[in-house]
Amino acid sequence: MHKHHSALGLATALRPVNPVTLIRPHAARRAARFFVEKFPGKTLYAVKANPSPDLIRLLWDSGVTHYDVASIAEVRMVRETLPAAVLCFMHPVKAEEAIAEAYFEHDVRTFSLDSMEELEKIVRATEGASDLTLCVRLRVSSEHSKLSLASKFGIAPSESKELLFAARQAADALGICFHVGSQAMTPDAYAQAMERVRQAIVEAAVTVDVIDVGGGFPSSYPGMEPPPLELYFETIHRAFESLPISYSAELWAEPGRALCAEYSSLVVRVEKRRGDELFINDGAYGALFDAAHVGWRFPVSLLREPDSRAKPMAFSFYGPTCDDLDHMTGPFMLPADVQAGDYLEIGMLGAYGCAMRTGFNGFGRAETVEVADEPMVSLYAAGTEEVASNVVTL
């Protein structure tokens, strides 16, 4: 893998024809240490956010020993990459064959579920194993999050009594898990979810050994500047301490975005300008899926020496494929004199960026280069300026 000192230096010196993924290992290490040292419980990395084996090894070296895997392919990959890691199969609906392989071949002992059918499947697939940690997923509100996860999975707290009781009988350790949605913008999201957990425990009258608050921990994007993560941790800890649970109960979390968003960015080239529309060489079928399909605004910067003195204006992007859906409305704020041949850095793509890339229409190839400069925005770097708009000073 090539290394370079900065995004700007790479763009000006190499002038790459294809998109370049920039990785910043120091940023991922910093995020991992932050969670390991400050979250008042156990940190499980949500592998789906970025399944790069290099990143997973880096997180392990930084103290993250538990991994939230959501498919048998992720189970196999993480087990091969980290033979000693603790794997937790946290998809609530799994193939019976996947459960059996995870349990018997990959030493997985923790499974999530949200129905009696899934509980019966787990018991059958593990041949009535007595060493299971079973986490019942509750459905909670996503009202405080930018992307909802309140529809597909989770049992309503009012309907959870029977499932919690049955899971308690089958489990060595019983857990309750939930997910407040992606990019939760206030700690209140977790406070409200924990109140639903309390209601479910009281109603079922079972001993609970694990409380897993899931993911949703935010990163910083234009127009989405969250409060400090310490406030989330404090809110969760207070709520956890007040729950009617086992004295030895464990607190878990499953950060994905918060651990890996700052790890990667993307350098793209402007191929054409049409008014306030820029045609770039990556897009909806590459690393910019979220920018196209859910209107996510990523920080952007013009990589040019000397710096442009033009006033910023709002642009939208078109990606390289022949599909009209390959469009990212933004707005992305860039100097008004940006033109074909210029290079842009698009930041905070370590989460769900490269992981979503396809080869549609013959595009999708991107070289990976390690750089030593800071990410465009950081929740962890002391003194790093956070973007209030899409304009980043180089």
Active site residues: 322
Residue with structure tokens 């980043």? Answer: 392
Residue with structure tokens 């499953």? Answer: 254
DSSP H stretches of helix in 207-313? 229-241, 257-260, 289-293
Contacts (Cβ under 8 Å, ≥6 apart) of 248? 209
Query: Can you name the residues that pair with 253 across neighbouring β-strands?
Result: 43
Calpha distance 276→280 (Å, rounded): 13
Q: Which of 343, 362, 340, 363 is nearest to 287 (CA)?
A: 363
**Cα→Cα distances 283→23, 117, 350, 361, 375, Å:** 18, 40, 15, 12, 20
Calpha distance 130→150 (Å, rounded): 31
DSSP letters along 291-344, please? HHHS-----EEEE-SSPP-SPEEEEEEE-SSS-TT-EEEEEEEEETT--TT-EE
Q: Which of 147, 249, 148 is nearest to 197 (CA)?
A: 249
Q: How far is CA 52 from the centre of its chain?
A: 13
Q: Which of 119, 202, 200 is nearest to 166 (CA)?
A: 119
